[in-house]
Chain A
């Protein structure tokens, strides 16, 4: 498989929020050595964030999985954002993404409360994940991947590159961390519509500490945003900006 890369030209602003954004969920997660204090004193943390996230969602028991590793969710009234907390991880997610500044501001606020409540110092991992659903209409029965994404698949003679369906998962190392990318079409259960799932996340596992969280979050975001911008075509970017009929 060959990945096309764009020339190094700034085609977007890091603060730009697209009116036709395909994002359905954004998550930032930190992992740390398991702390029993979190297991025993979730109420102390929730008490401090209850005003914004009053709804408690308890994890259901899963066969073969330790309950302590399954996170509790604390969600806002609109169910548009929330926190996930388990013995060794914390994450903040937003379903109605209003830009990275607002997201990071809230993540930092909640992480600060977490750090103060449980005296966390060491981090094992930080990850930033974008989940996008890009609705499409088939062109002549084929998924028009090239309209949206700069992912070119070189196939040998005899194999057509006109794809009726596919699933691509890439797990790759970068200089700063690792990137997991999943691209595949999906169909609604009522068969009403199809969409390209573009689900990718950037993670770092080296030289992390809770005290460096602010800079780490920014780095995770910037890397993931750049990845997204390099993945999409210029024409699709135009559509995201509202250039449409």
Chain B
């Protein structure tokens, strides 16, 4: 789903929400209504937990969530996970996550097809990680 489609879904949602509901929510007895929740919209947490990755009509499920760190550089967005050794960039955070997914798929297939006798050191660690923590789901 491209970013414009996502933005449009927010616009449709906000148009369809009855103004009365919003007013009732704000003026109903909520604690400290002065708190500006909207200001937190621009609050960015660097880590996004992702359990399932989709690409090329397939999906890979992780036993534990993969923390994808998203950072914005001057021009590009960075998506990375140090444990998996994945560092990618993208023109938007969505593109960066897409690139991250592609890399993850690539490494999953690579290490799945590699026999354990062929790896040592860091490659051995990664193979063990991919073998134990990830599984490809049958569509």
Mark B74-116 against chain A: 1 for CB-CB distance below 8 A, else 0.
0001000101100000001100010000000000000000000
Q: Which of chain A's residues 137-179 have a Cβ closer than 8 Å to chain B?
A: 137-141, 144, 147, 164-167, 169, 171, 178
B85 smallest CB distance to A (angstroms): 11
- Measured CB to CB, the nearest residue on chain B to A128 is B31
B50 within 8 A of A: yes
Q: Chain B residues near A184: list those with CB within 8 A.
A: 13
The answer for the CA separation of A178 and B68 in the assembled complex, in Å, is: 37
The answer for the CA separation of A24 and B37 in the assembled complex, in Å, is: 9
Stretch in A45-53, A106-114, A192-200 touching the partner: A192-200
Interface size class of A (residues with CB under 8 A): 35 or more
B67 within 8 A of A: yes
A75 within 8 A of B: no
Stretch in A10-18, A97-105, A236-244 touching the partner: A236-244
Interface majority SS on B: helix, strand, loop or mixed?
mixed
A136 within 8 A of B: yes
Would B67 and A138 count as touching, CB distance under 8 A?
Answer: no
Interface size class of B (residues with CB under 8 A): 35 or more
B95 smallest CB distance to A (angstroms): 11
Q: Chain B residues near A135: list those with CB within 8 A.
A: 44-45, 47-49
A27 within 8 A of B: yes
Q: Chain B residues near A127: list those with CB within 8 A.
A: 29-32
- Measured CB to CB, the nearest residue on chain A to B83 is A245
Q: Chain A residues near B62: list those with CB within 8 A.
A: 245
Would B50 and A190 count as touching, CB distance under 8 A?
Answer: no
The answer for the CA separation of A25 and B41 in the assembled complex, in Å, is: 13
- Known contacts A135-B45, A167-B13, A244-B65; A129/B40 CB under 8 A: no
B52 within 8 A of A: yes
B80 smallest CB distance to A (angstroms): 12
Q: Which of chain B's residues 3-34 have a Cβ closer than 8 Å to chain A?
A: 3, 5-7, 9-10, 12-13, 17, 21, 25, 28-32, 34
A186 within 8 A of B: yes
- Measured CB to CB, the nearest residue on chain A to B36 is A25
A226 within 8 A of B: no
Would B3 and A191 count as touching, CB distance under 8 A?
Answer: yes
B105 smallest CB distance to A (angstroms): 15
Would B32 and A129 count as touching, CB distance under 8 A?
Answer: yes
- Known contacts A27-B35, A129-B31, A165-B10; A244/B66 CB under 8 A: yes
Selected from B3, B30, B34, B43, the residue in CB contact (under 8 A) with A180 is: B30
Would B32 and A27 count as touching, CB distance under 8 A?
Answer: yes
Q: Chain B residues near A187: list those with CB within 8 A.
A: 6-7, 10, 41
Which of A20, A93, A167, A199 counts the most chain B CB atoms within 10 A? A167
A78 within 8 A of B: no
- Measured CB to CB, the nearest residue on chain A to B21 is A169
Q: Chain A residues near B41: list those with CB within 8 A.
A: 186-189
